[in-house]
Amino acid sequence: MRSHPDNEVRPPLLRTKFFIPKPSQPIVTRSHLVTLLNRSIELPLIVISAPAGFGKTTLVSEWIRNINLPTTWLSLDHGDDDPSCFFSYLIGALQQVNKSIGREIEDVLGSGQLPPVPFITGSLINDMLAADTPFILVLDDFQEIQDPVIFEVLETMLANPPKQLHLVLITREDPLLPLGRLRANNQMAEIRASDLRFSEAEADRFLNGIMGLALSEDDIAALENRTEGWVAGIQLAAIAMCGRTDLSGFISRLSGSHRFIFSYLTEEVLSRQPEDIQMFLLQTSVLGKLCAELCNAVTGHNNSQALLEKCVHANLFLVPLDDEGRWYRYHHLFRDLLLTQRSRKPQQDAIELHRRASRWYEGSGMIAESIEHTLVAADYRHAVQLLEDHARAMIMQGYLKTVEGWMQAIPSEWQSRNPRANLAFAWMHLMRGSYNSVAPYLKQAEEAISQIDPDDRARKPLRAEWLSLQSTLLNVQGQAEQSVGLAKQALQLTDTEHYHVKSLAYAALGGGYRLTGDYAGSVKAYQQSIQNSRVSRNILVEMVSVSGLMVMAIQHGQLHIAYEAGSQALERLERGGAINLPITGIVYACMGAVCYEWNQLERAFSYLSRGIQLSTLSGHNAVAVYSKSLLAHVSQAQGDTQATARTSQEAVDLLPLGLPAWIKPIIAAHLVRYYLGMGNATIAKEALNQLGISIPEGPMLSEPFNLPDPLTQQDGLKSII
């Protein structure tokens, strides 16, 4: 991953998610199915859809190990049904076969933004088309994905499939994709439960050839009939029959549905295991993934590695997740039924197991897993603490849906004690330009901060951050004096090491001074914000402050200073690998403004187009309107009347979404100049009304709409860099 805010705490991509699983039981080679998969490899999509226990993963892993194509495998779970999380892992998987795929999207996700669907699909398709060789992408347990954004991306990719990509979906239920259309267009192959069922011959090879049970043809036929060829049922029956004498009688007692058979066989298998294995299985069933260290922490013993090896040797439905034999998971059905057995124990026992798992994950830096177990244990006090410590970083990384889900799982009486999380949400909406969504979070944060003991050292920086965010909100609303006052209060509460809070406070102060006309004070405040932002690695605030300085320089004729400031900022980000972060759109927009003033129209067009693209990704409406209004002037100067009209209208259409007060006169100047130049005073007036700028009726509307007067004292601007 490239540099981005808070990158030192970014959760690492789990390598086990990209591992091709080994079979959890001895393999019966399914030659006819492997042949079918080989024949289907040229199609864009292969779907293997069947209920749990039919050997879907085993079949695909067996096929892949014998095919001469690069393959990447992504194992999904319920936590991946979050677009930011899913696409982060998807790119990680794709980069296992080609490191160049998804780099642009990776940068955007690293900044905490979810790109629009067209950007994701276009970027991925282009990267795949540039790849040298075809490859296979396997998405396992795809039934965990339900988010419509994810499906929209995959559907668009399959409608325009790059020839290099061969997508394999392993799922328990049909995905919400246009399978009928793909089937009719001969763009997909599918394998169903009816294809995966063991025939009598395959059951014979497994039961007698591999498990060595010496069953008669009638016994095999009866077992195959009762399980309907269900692979998991046959495997469990084989394990349960090991060591028995009356095998025919055991088979004759099997009856009922798959789940009933599996439940019965599970009880039979568990009852025949040594007591230490039974206890181990029940205690560790609360875990989605297992390793010896985690199991030791949960069980309170230190022999988990040996017990895991015993379970593997006994074919107890453990699926290895890496080549080293460190991480495993239980077969999904087997775990479900272990949990059913677990539920018969006292609930307090399970709560304690989840607490132990949470502590281990937290100590191992796996915060998402820690929070999940903490919530299951209903330990809301600790869940809130984890959110307070980590919500900001996760939100900045784009995991908004996940964090929101956690907060919704916490009762309201606990949520009110979560100031850091509420400040994080307020910060996110503020930077995205969703100003109406900021105030509720600030109110909740204020209430929570007021309940902190005044002698608690955590109170001052939290209060300072609240004041900084409130100051910034007042700034965008045009309340300059109040904004300056709150920013100064925030700075009085900060200590030397509070770099992040100081970057926010100085940025707010710079904006407030700019509105009041104290340009020298604004320059100094923005410079302080930039310095503190760099120390705290807060690229978002740094770019906001750089752009604030650039806008002032442009307004007052200091074009070379503005250009140099923007160039140096972009060069620094490029060296750090963060040049594609969406917040840089505001700097690109300012660079475009400078080039337009210099009549360098092609360069201006390039910068402004990039500013529009990145502002669309970030949701920063002010930058989008600013860039589009300027781009209309560039297109007009280039003689492209259609582009001029289209871009101007797009800028006007975005006005109702809201703009900071300081930028409204600048936008008004650009739009009114354009529309008056086109002789359309009606639309010019409409644009002013949408900006909340009222003007008297009459001939004034045809007069030039001027920018503010140049600075009389510009020394401060010369020291921007």
Question: What is the DSSP track for 198-240?
Answer: PPHHHHHIIIIIIS-----HHHHHHHHHHHTT-HHHHHHHHHH
**Rounded Cα distance, 140 and 151, in Å:** 15
Residue 223 is predicted with a pLDDT of: 87
Cα-based distances in Å from 709 to 149, 554, 562, 591, 705: 47, 12, 17, 21, 12
pLDDT at 114 over 80: no
Report the C-alpha gap between 113 and 105 in whole angstroms.
10
Which span out of 200-209, 240-249, 399-408 was modeled with the highest average pLDDT? 200-209
310 burial class (0-12, 13-18, 19+ CB within 10 angstroms)?
middle
pLDDT, mean over the chain: 83
Is the model more confident about 228 or about 159?
A: 159
What is the tens place of the pLDDT at every residue in 19-78? 777 665 556 778 889 889 999 998 999 999 987 778 899 899 889 988 889 999 999 988
At residue 720 the predicted structure's pLDDT band, cuts being 50, 70 and 90, is very low
Per-residue pLDDT tens for 182-209? 998 899 999 998 899 888 999 999 999 8
- On the question of pLDDT at 432 being above 80, the answer is no
Q: What sign results for the dihedral spanned by CA atoms 615, 619, 621, 622? A: negative
pLDDT at 697: 52
DSSP classification of residue 707: P
- For position 709, what pLDDT does the model report? 35
pLDDT of residue 1: 32
Mean pLDDT of 508-519: 91
Interacting residues of 580 by C-beta distance below 8 A, sequence separation 6+: 104, 107, 108, 614
One-letter amino acid of 393: A
**Could you tell me which residue, 82 or 412, shows the higher pLDDT?**
82
Half-sphere exposure of 97 (CA within 13 A, CB side): 26
Determine the average pLDDT of the residues in 635-659: 81
Kindly report the pTM of this predicted structure: 0.62
Q: Is the pLDDT of residue 259 over 60?
A: yes
Looking at the predicted structure, is the pLDDT value of residue 428 above 90?
Answer: no
pLDDT for 717 equals 46
Mean pLDDT, residues 334-340: 82
Lowest average pLDDT, out of 158-167, 604-613, 683-692, goes to 683-692
Rounded CA separation 68/591 (Å): 49
Q: Does residue 599 surpass a pLDDT of 90?
A: yes
